[in-house]
């Protein structure tokens, strides 16, 4: 196992770093450093810059618009992006449905959808979960009934992140309910402008609108937008879930957050000195740094295995658990340090027309917002209880 980067990889790292310094817009950087919310126009602007450079879909095959990087280059790229404060773009098109389309879609679907995903022309959302079908996803009930060249879709999806911004939704729908529950599911792409779709916002604990419930009432969806074969959608759905869990460690973003925490502690007065010099803080910081280092080395080992014959297995499940737990403990440390400055949140100032400056040190911005949203990290992408079940079954045979 060799965990060090080659000279070529270090040159690539320098190239990404230099390009980011010149091309990541300063106003977006300022917003990220202050913990302000980025909206679709912000993200779309960044997407277009990356797309023009050809760096928008690191994992895609070259023939569909990927840059042809190795897994290690992709890791370096993701890290450098995060360390520079670049936001993640929504994964639904680029990391989820895009790979499903180029792997299982027909030529017409590839030609139509893939370029529009890369350019940001189409934004996607994920219609998997339903009221009553989350962890037990295959129990889903949203029904698609054949009617000539179309399906007629009825049912409801829930926790649909970004449905209010999306142009398309990829849905798991039930096309047969006679056999095993996994056998009658199909993977259908539906235009969000189709009559009969209603998007209802769900405001989560941090006061933000990110998730929704989506209702389908007699929605007519053309069969030409079915991926692969009818009733075989479960195969494509599982393929997508593996992609969803890949890259969940987000080591670069965690390093970036840690940098903000350190800056804040350096500034904060405490008992005539600075919080950064306080023994309790130093212990917590050291524990966090060790946990982050362990996560980083686990990911590098995982990558090192991908370069050899070792096939990725339960590592993705293990990293999902470790990474989300670390994310939550880091965000706890963050609000403890930000103290009462973590309560007022000015991250919506843009849209609320406020001209008041943020309350407290800039570095404290968004601490509580992220802490509260982060409660969901151990739930979405497959809850940690389920991940532990998989690890116990596959790795420990219990």
Ligand X SMILES: Cc1cc2nc3c(=O)[nH]c(=O)nc-3n(C[C@H](O)[C@H](O)[C@H](O)COP(=O)(O)OP(=O)(O)OC[C@H]3O[C@@H](n4cnc5c(N)ncnc54)[C@H](O)[C@@H]3O)c2cc1C
Residues that bind ligand X (CB under 6 A): 125-126, 128-129, 134-135, 159-161, 211, 376, 379-380, 383, 385-386, 389
The least distance separating ligand X from the CB of residue 378, rounded to whole angstroms, comes to: 8
Nearest C-alpha neighbor of 357 from the set 40, 30, 42: 30
Which lies closer to ligand X via its Cβ, residue 225 or residue 268?
225
Q: Which letter does DSSP use for residue 171 in this model?
A: E
Q: Are 295 and 323 in contact (CB under 8 A)?
A: yes
Is beta strand 226-227 parallel, antiparallel or unpaired with respect to 185-191? antiparallel
The least distance separating ligand X from the CB of residue 91, rounded to whole angstroms, comes to: 9
Three-state DSSP state, 282: helix
Which lies closer to ligand X via its Cβ, residue 171 or residue 292?
171
Residue nearest to ligand X (CB): 134
Which lies closer to ligand X via its Cβ, residue 12 or residue 128?
128
244 is catalytic: yes
User: Per-residue DSSP letters for 209-273?
Assistant: EEEEEEEEEEEEEEGGGEESSTTBHHHHHHHHHHHHHTTTT-HHHHHHHHHHHHHHHHH-EETTE
Nearest C-alpha neighbor of 79 from the set 17, 4, 6, 8: 17
The least distance separating ligand X from the CB of residue 93, rounded to whole angstroms, comes to: 12
The least distance separating ligand X from the CB of residue 124, rounded to whole angstroms, comes to: 10
**Residue tagged active-site, from 244, 299, 315, 363:** 244
CA atoms within 13 A on the CB side of 260: 28
Which lies closer to ligand X via its Cβ, residue 218 or residue 385?
385
Which lies closer to ligand X via its Cβ, residue 90 or residue 120?
90
User: Per-residue DSSP letters for 284-353?
Assistant: HHHHHHHHHHHHHHHHHHHHHHHHSSPPP-THHHHHHHHHHHHHHHHHHHHHHHHGGGGSS--TTHHHHT
The least distance separating ligand X from the CB of residue 128, rounded to whole angstroms, comes to: 3
Is beta strand 209-222 parallel, antiparallel or unpaired with respect to 143-147? unpaired
The least distance separating ligand X from the CB of residue 155, rounded to whole angstroms, comes to: 13
Which lies closer to ligand X via its Cβ, residue 226 or residue 377?
377
Q: Are 276 and 103 in contact (CB under 8 A)?
A: no
Beta bridge partners of 143: 154, 174
Q: Which residues are catalytic?
A: 244
């Amino acid at each position: 196992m060799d965990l060090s980067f080659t000279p070529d990889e270090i040159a690539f790292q320098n190239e990404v770093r230099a390009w980011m310094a010149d091309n990541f817009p300063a106003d977006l950087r300022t917003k990220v450093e202050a913990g302000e919310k980025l909206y679709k126009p912000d993200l779309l602007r960044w997407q277009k810059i990356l797309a023009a450079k050809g760096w928008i879909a690191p994992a895609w095959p070259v023939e569909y618009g990927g840059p042809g990087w190795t897994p290690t280059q992709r890791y370096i790229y993701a890290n450098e992006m995060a360390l520079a404060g670049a936001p993640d773009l929504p994964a639904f098109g680029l990391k989820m449905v895009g790979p499903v389309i180029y792997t299982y879609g027909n030529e017409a679907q590839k030609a139509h959808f893939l370029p529009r995903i890369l350019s940001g022309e189409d934004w996607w959302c994920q219609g998997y979960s339903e009221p009553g079908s989350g962890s037990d996803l295959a129990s889903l009930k949203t029904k698609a009934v054949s009617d000539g060249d179309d399906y007629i879709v009825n049912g409801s999806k829930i926790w649909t992140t970004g449905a209010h911004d999306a142009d398309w939704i990829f849905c798991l729908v039930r096309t047969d309910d006679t056999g095993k529950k996994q056998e009658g599911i199909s993977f259908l792409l539906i235009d969000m402008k189709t009559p009969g779709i209603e998007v209802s916002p769900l405001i989560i604990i941090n006061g933000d609108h990110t998730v929704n419930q989506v209702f389908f009432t007699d929605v007519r969806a053309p069969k030409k937008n079915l991926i692969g074969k009818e009733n075989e959608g479960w195969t494509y759905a599982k393929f997508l879930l593996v992609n969803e869990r890949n890259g969940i460690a987000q080591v670069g973003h965690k390093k970036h957050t840690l940098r903000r925490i350190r800056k804040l502690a350096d500034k904060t007065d405490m008992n005539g000195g600075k919080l950064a010099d306080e023994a309790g803080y130093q212990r917590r910081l050291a524990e966090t740094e060790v946990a982050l280092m362990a996560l980083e080395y686990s990911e590098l080992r995982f990558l090192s295995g991908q370069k050899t014959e070792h096939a990725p297995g339960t590592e993705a499940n293990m990293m999902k658990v470790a990474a989300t737990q670390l994310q939550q403990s880091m965000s706890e440390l963050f609000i403890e340090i930000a103290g009462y400055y973590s309560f007022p949140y000015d991250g919506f100032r843009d849209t609320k027309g406020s001209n008041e400056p943020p309350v407290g040190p800039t570095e404290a911005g968004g601490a509580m917002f992220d802490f509260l949203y982060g409660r969901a990290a151990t739930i979405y992408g497959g809850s940690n209880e389920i991940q532990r079940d998989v690890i116990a079954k596959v790795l420990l045979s219990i």
